[in-house]
Amino acid sequence: MTGPLVEWVIAGRQSIHDRQRAVVGYELRFAAADETRPELNSVQGSGIISSHVVYGALNIGLDRLVGDKRIFCNADRALLIGATPLSLPPTRTVLIIDASIVMDDEVIAGCRRLVHVGFSLALAASPWFDGADRVRDFASIVKIDVQAVQGERLVELMDRCRRPGVQLLAEKVETTEELDSLLGMGFDLFQGFALGKPTVESSRVVGASELSRLQLAATLVSDSLDFAEIEQIMSTEPGLTYQVLQLASLGRMGEARRTVSSLREALVQAGEWRIQSWIALLVTRPSGGSAGEEVTTALARARACELLAKQVGEPPRMGFTAGVVSSFELLVQIPAEELARTLPLTEELRAAAFGDQTPLARIVCDVSDLQSGREFPRMLSGISQTELDDTLAIAFNWALESGSVLV
C-alpha cells in the first residue's frame, strides 16, 4: 500500500436517485480519520480515489456502504492511467472525472481501457473544462451542479451534453421545488439534500498484506490439507518448521516433552489439524511480531474450546479451530462481524467462531467472555463457570508454554 499510513478511514456517502426517486447508487467520499475517535471526523477534501481509499472501501465493506447499488467515486490521474490498482467491481462502479484532470493522450487511453473492462465514466461538466469534449465520448453519465449553472446556461449545457445512451445527473438539488423543475427539464438522475443527506461510516484500515494473510489463514483452517501439502507450505519457511517441531515436542496434557526426529513425525504427533490452525495463527500474527498477550489469549482460547468441545459432541479439532478463528479479531483489530462476512470459511466454522446459535459457538462465546473479563458473562453453553475457569487455567498454562516457541 502506498501513500501515508492510515489507521482509520471514514467514508461519506450520498444517495443518487432516478426519476421515480428510487436509490440507484451512492457517491462515496473518503478521508483519513483520527485513530482514537473516528466518529468525530468529517469527510473532507476531494474524495478522490487513491490506494488507501480502495483498501478503505474494502475494509468498511461494500455491502455496508452501498448494498447492491452502484458506486460513484471521484477518480484521479493515477487511477485513470492504471498507476493505482482498482479493486472495485467494474460493472457497478462509476468513476467521476472533473476539471482537475488534464485530459492528455495517456489519460484518454486509460479511459478507453477502463470502459473496455466494464467501468462507467461520469463527466463532471460544471463548469465545462478543456478536454471535456474528449472524455464525453466515453462518458455514460454527465454530472451537473445545478447551483453553479442555472437558467439559460443550464439549458445550453444540457443540450451540449445530450447524446444517445447518456444520462444527465443533477447534483446539489436542495429543495423539492428544484427537484420538480429539474424533472420537467429532463434530468435522469438526482442527488442532493432534497433526496437524502450524506451519512458517514468508519473502519480501521487493513493493508493489502494483512488482507492477504487473513485470507490465507482462513483458507488454512477451512481446507483439509494432507501431510504433503503442509510440508510443502513449510518447506520455504525454516522458522515456521522449527516452531512446528517445537509445538509437537510439547506433548499432550500431563505428558513430558517428547523428542521429534522429523517434520512428518511432528505432524503425526501434533495432528495435522492442529498444525493447520497453528500455521494460521502464525500467518495472522503481525509481521515480525513476537508472542504477545493477544497470541497467548488466542492459544488459550483455542485450547479451552478444544477441551470443552467433546461436551457438546463436537470433534476437538473443530473446537480448537473455532477458537483460533474467533481470535483473529484480537490479532488484527477488525470487528468480528466484518471477519464473519469476508473470510472464506465453511458455514459450520463461521457459525462456531462468530455466532452464538450452535453448541460449539456458545462455548466459544463463554470462553471469550471470561477471557475478556465481561462483567456479566452470557453463560450460553450450560457449562458451569467453575468448569470453564478450571479449563481456561489449564489452557492458559499450555498457551504460555506453546507461545514460547513463537520467536
DSSP three-state, residue 141: strand
Predicted confidence (pLDDT) at residue 118 exceeds the cutoff of 80: yes
Q: Is the pLDDT of residue 49 over 60?
A: no
Q: Per-residue pLDDT tens for 194-249?
A: 998 887 765 555 444 455 556 556 666 665 656 666 666 555 555 566 566 666 66
pTM flag (> 0.85): no
Grid cell 458451569 is found at 384
Q: What is the DSSP letter of 203?
A: E
| pLDDT of 132 higher than 90 | no
Query: Is residue 174's pLDDT more than 50?
Result: yes
* Dihedral, CA of residue 397, residue 399, residue 400 and residue 406, to nearest 10: 160
Q: What is the mean pLDDT of residues 107-127?
A: 87
- Measure Cα distances from 47 to 4, 71, 208, 360 in Å: 15, 13, 20, 44
Please say if the pLDDT value at position 176 is more than 80. yes
- First-to-last CA distance in the chain? 27
Domains of the chain: 8-204 (3.20.20.450), 208-403 (1.10.3210.10)
What pLDDT is recorded for position 216?
56
For residue 298, the tally of other CB atoms under 10 A from its CB is 27
Provide the pLDDT for residue 231: 63
Longest alpha-carbon distance in the chain: 89
pLDDT in the model for residue 7: 52
Angle at 334 between CA 377 and CA 216, to 5 degrees: 115
What is the DSSP secondary structure assignment for residue 155, as one 8-state letter? Answer: H
pLDDT above 90 (res 392):
yes
